[in-house]
Structure 1
Amino acid sequence: MKVCFIAYVSGIVQGVGFRYFTQQQARALGVSGYAYNMDDGRVEVLVSGDKQQVEKLLEWLKSGPRTAKVERVLIEPRAYKEWVGFEIR
């Protein structure tokens, strides 16, 4: 089953390689989408693909890389859309 979610990650998540590490995880899991630094200091992550793999990435976002300090992750479902690759915006 294919799913799509958007996650808003709060905490110390900008300037610590969060988007790069998220891209690495996404590619390893075979999911697509993007990671984007928002003006308010959060990182927006859209992830699309196989439900099980998407859930693994969403779970990973709750801790993130060692360089980050994730305080909160707000996850919202989105209508499924096919994305090509996982990009950093």
Structure 2
Amino acid sequence: MQDSAQLPEIIRAHVLISGRVQGVGYRYATVDTASQLGLTGWVRNLPDSRVEAVFEGARVVVEEMIRWCHSVPPAAIVQEVVTEYEEPEGLRGFEVK
């Protein structure tokens, strides 16, 4: 059993992904991957054709998810991933908004 000093630091990343990321299954692949990693948060399309997402979880896992955002799904063409770190809100589950 871990004592609280060894618990992972929980962070929140607010991510904006631009490129060809709408209409290619990007949001649903994001939900699947984030859920598999145990992250909480949400993902949605923006009117300017970007995808916006929030990931909350252990720092190492959130950073893995941000790296994932650069690379998949195969039909997507990611041009830029902009990340801002915010105060975690303690979200539950991961959903498409």
What's the TM-score, normalizing by structure 2?
0.89
Q: Give 5+ residue unaligned stretches, structure 1.
A: none
Q: CA deviation at 1:84?
A: 0.8
Task: Select which of 9, 12, 25 maps to 1:4.
Answer: 12
**Structure 1 segments of 4 or more deviating over 4 A?**
none
What percentage of residue pairs aligned between the two structures are identical? Answer: 36
- 2-structure distance, mates of 1:67, 1:28: 21
Once residues 92 and 10 of structure 2 are traced to their aligned partners in structure 1, the CA distance between those partners, rounded to angstroms, is: 14
Matches within 5 A, 1:53-64: 53-64=61-72
CA distance in 2, matches of 1:69, 1:3: 27
CA distance in structure 2 between the aligned counterparts of 1:54 and 1:80, rounded to whole angstroms: 12
For residue 45 of structure 1, what is the amino acid of its counterpart? A
Count, aligned residues: 89
Alpha-carbon distance in 1 for matches of 2:73, 2:45? 16
2:88 aligns with 80
Cα-to-partner distance string for 1:6-35 (whole Å, 9 max, x where unaligned): 010000000011000000110110001000
Look up the equivalent residue of 1:83 and give its one-letter code. Answer: L
Q: Could you say what the CA RMSD is over the residues aligned between the two structures, in angstroms?
A: 0.6
Q: What displacement does 1:81 show?
A: 1.3
TM value normalised by structure 1: 0.97
1:12 maps to amino acid: R
Match of 2:50 in 1: 42
